[in-house]
Structure 1
Amino acid sequence: MKIVDARVIVTCPGRNFVTLKVTTDEGLTGLGDATLNGREQAVVGYLAEHVAPLLIGLDPHRIEDTWQYLYRGAYWRRGPVTMAAIAAVDVALWDVKAKAAGLPLYQLLGGASRERIRAYGHADGRDVPELLDAVRARLDQGYRAVRIQTGVPGLKAVYGVHDTTADGSAVPHQQARPLVEDWDTDAYLRHLPGVFEAVRAEFGPELPLLHDAHHRLTPIQAARLGRDLEPYRPFWLEDCTPAENQEALRLVRRHTTTPLAVGEVFNTVHDYQTLITEQLIDYVRSAVTHFGGVTPLRKLSDFAAQHQIKTAIHGPEDISPVGTAAALHLDLAVHNFGIQEYAGHSPLAGEVFPHAYTFADGHLHPGDAPGLGVELDEALAAAHPYRPAYLPVNRLRDGTVHDW
């Protein structure tokens, strides 16, 4: 079997998604997700101009060899653009291989290690009463674990809190320039323990509650927050401090027993080495789409398992259904699965990417269709072309650019 075509398809059914479609001489096709939110066209160019021509004539079954060829052969290694492009190829080849075998992908990864995949959803509010309503809504949808984010008094726009227009609809994701959010760390640190107290008082001690600090704290601030939240037993505190400085997590770990989750912006195992070998975190958070695909993320899972660390693959709205499906096949197969983020997609995105995976009773399953179990309606995709979009930026009250 040989690859005879490799095309990049960009569509925007509410969000921009970048998809690689690989076709073989036997008529089998495979899909891979290469979406890099806010920098989509950089990956499009990398794939279309540099990677896709190299795939023609290759044996799609040689997944490990192709991965090493694209990673080592380019000389310029790592980085989100490179790793998203490699991920798209890797996932597309796994899709082809599983279809050729007539099996769902998880069966090629060793088979199921569980019957279903626990998921958590997002609940947010501009204030605590609105957040409580959002938690109720998620519970009504079947979620059994919830990430909670809320506005901070005195701040106009805060990460994780969806702003709305006058008619109550969500502010469009597409922006001509990045939305500017504001930030005050002291106000946030004063406010958040009370948020957890209110949610616990309303929903009791058993509901798993997660929170994302989104890289905004120094290590000592993160340690203080982790300790302040301990009475409310959070499931985890996510991205409490920028973890590119892996040693910084030593200070956080020394001062709090709150579980820590890190890694959604990481691209390779090298970003994790100190964190894992010194057991400074409890969950690895990288996405299949941004970590180079199924091949390296499976290896990361095995590395983490040696140190009693679990997986929690990044699953926001800007990972396409292709990337979501790949994550679910890994979730079902690896032994050290922890939890899966599931923000879901719009109904239109589900029409552009018909998929076999399902969500019910707070759990996900990738389905048993051969391959990933995701298809692409190219005609519908073409009807929703790319629209320029940016992630927000963040500034302190004095105007200094801060971590978003």
Structure 2
Amino acid sequence: MNRRDLIQTLGFGAALGALRVSGAESGATAERYARATKGLPPLKITKVRAILTAPAGIRLGVVKVETSEPGLYGLGCATFNQRPLTVATAVNEYLDPFARGRDVDNIEDLWQNAYTSSYWRNGPVLNNALCGLDQALWDLKGKRANMPVYQLLGGKCRFAVDCYTHCGGNDLKGIEESVKRAMERGFRHIRIQRGGYGSPQLSKKADWKEAGFGLPSDSNMAVRPYVKGTVEMFEHVRNTCGDDVELLHDIHERIPPIEAINLCKQLEKYRPYFIEDPFSPEDIGYFKQLRQQTCVPIAMGELFNSPHEWVGLITDRLIDFIRVHISQVGGLTVARKMAALGEWFNVRSAWHGPGDVSPVGHAANAHLDLAIWNFGIQEAATIPDRTREVFPGCPTVEKGYMYINEAPGFGVDLNEELAARYPLPKHPGYWEPVRRPDGTAVRP
């Protein structure tokens, strides 16, 4: 109703009173909002852009959010090693115009609207772009509050972040020696692999190569040699390295679900800390059958993008560790909600943290690890010296624990001049095909 209609309906005096009340209420609302936000001066987003660099050969993606305060910016991880250019396009062409002019402090509101801004959502490209924006906003909020991000999440639940490292080799003796060296460096949790994922060196016969099927560069993997070799590996490491070390292993979704169940049952007597990713996302219906067959702890989630993939596994208590790649699910805002859900179903965190996570992403993982009660374990990647030069303030690992630097935000910066010296490799970065002996593609 406009002013004229109001006057005709109520009469001039009553209408004037109503307008005064309406104006007073509007002014009071604005005043209350101003009081609620006066602790931090207004700050707007002026630019959102992707920065790609590969100082150690791995394609790293970071989002930089610039603000109306000169020199104040936030950084977030948007690393999708296999499709970095598509993520950069999503950031520069779509998220940048969407986010410009918006308030940097309203992270949840911005996340929700950015999430639905493409209408269709979830998927590695859009989620990585969204994570870059989201983490950059958390980094900014920490800098504005002059606090590390973990303080904004409730403070520390532990003094440092317990980590696991990777040990492997092509033969049992080599794996044993690698594990012993890691134990000497202070690691209490060690993931063991026999060769590459699926132990391709144990699969001798590749009939598809003789038939001229596929490309010579494709890998070969047979199920039975891998299963047998993995059991032998656990037996050998337990016998030679003792019971004091926690052992982990990644199936990497490489074998049929029923074979993964069979392998977990055989490994039970070696007391693994967890077995990772036994099934592909398309086969998560097998988790009920797995739970009925074995008590081996299970970690799952590296390939997850959508809440539909993890919510049921948590609430039905079908996994023990949620192991998503935080940039692939949309950022810190999503991961902290995931952790909060997991707390009430005794599901712990084990965020994916390999080399193809930027130092900003590793720091974000660590801040969340410090703040959540149901933290489990954190994958620790070795950050090369050249990468540390490009990203000052990287987390450090000492005696199996990861430490952050306690600076405001995530504590990691980016030297753009140095980053520009390390462009992405020419190779497009796709995942190399793996085949069964008859040439059938193995789906991770």
TM-score by length of 2: 0.84
1:8 match: secondary structure: strand
Correspondence list, 1:2-401, <5 A: 2-14=44-56, 15-27=58-70, 28-151=72-195, 152=199, 154-155=202-203, 180-387=218-425, 388=427, 389-401=429-441
Structure 2: any 5+ residue segments left out of the alignment?
1-42, 206-214
Q: Distance in 2 between matches of 1:149 and 1:341?
A: 14
Give distance in 1, aligned partners of 2:278 and 2:138.
34
Greater Rg over alpha carbons, structure: 2
Shift of 1:283: 0.2
Q: Distance in 2 between matches of 1:219 and 1:275?
A: 16
- Distance verdict in 2 for CA 1:179–1:330, change over 3 Å: farther
Q: Structure 2 CA distance, aligned partners of 1:131 and 1:338?
A: 24
Separation in 2, partners of 1:384, 1:102 = 32
Deviations 1:276-326 (A, max 9, x none): 111110000012211111101000001111111100000000001010000
Residues 362 and 101 of structure 1: CA distance in aligned 2, closer, same or farther (over 3 Å): same
CA RMSD of aligned residues (A): 1.6
Deviates more, 1:141-150 or 1:371-380: 141-150
Q: CA deviation at 1:178?
A: 11
**Contact residue 246 and residue 272 of structure 1 kept, 8 A:** no
Higher helix share: 2
SS at match of 2:66: strand
CA distance in 2, matches of 1:156, 1:109: 51
Aligned length in residues: 385
Distance 1:243 1:5, change over 3 A: closer
Q: Residue 40 of structure 2 corresponds to which residue in structure 1?
A: none
Amino acid at match of 2:159: E
Deviations 1:140-179 (A, max 9, x none): 333221100003453379xxxxxxxxxxxxxxxxxxx995
Confirm or deny: 8 A CA contact 2:252 2:278 kept in the other structure. yes
Quick one: distance in 2 between partners of 1:149 and 1:343? 15
Alpha-carbon distance in 1 for matches of 2:293, 2:376: 23
Q: Is the 8 A contact 1:37 1:391 kept in 2?
A: no
- DSSP 3-state at the match of 1:146: strand
Letter paired with 1:8:
A
Contact 1:22–1:30 (CA<8 Å) still a contact in 2?
yes
% identical equivalent positions? 40
CA drift of 1:76 comes to 1.0
In the superposition, the TM-score normalised over structure 1's length comes to: 0.92
Are the counterparts in 2 of residues 178 and 393 from structure 1 also a CA contact under 8 Å? no
Report Cα offsets for 1:37-75 as digits up to 9, x if no partner: 211111111111111121211111110011111112211
Amino acid at match of 1:155: S
How far is 1:349 from its partner? 0.9
Does the residue aligned with 1:245 lie in a helix, a strand or coil?
helix
Q: What is the SS of the residue equivalent to 2:375?
A: coil
**Contact 1:183/1:394, CA 8 A, preserved across alignment:** yes
Residue in 1 that maps onto 2:9 = none
SS in structure 2 at match of 1:222: helix
Please list every run of at least 4 consecutive aligned residues from structure 1 whose deviation after the TM superposition is greater than 6 angstroms: none
1:234-283 per-residue CA deviation (whole Å, 9 max, x = no partner) reads 00110011133332111111111110000011123221122111111000
Instruction: Give the CA deviation at 1:136.
Output: 2.4
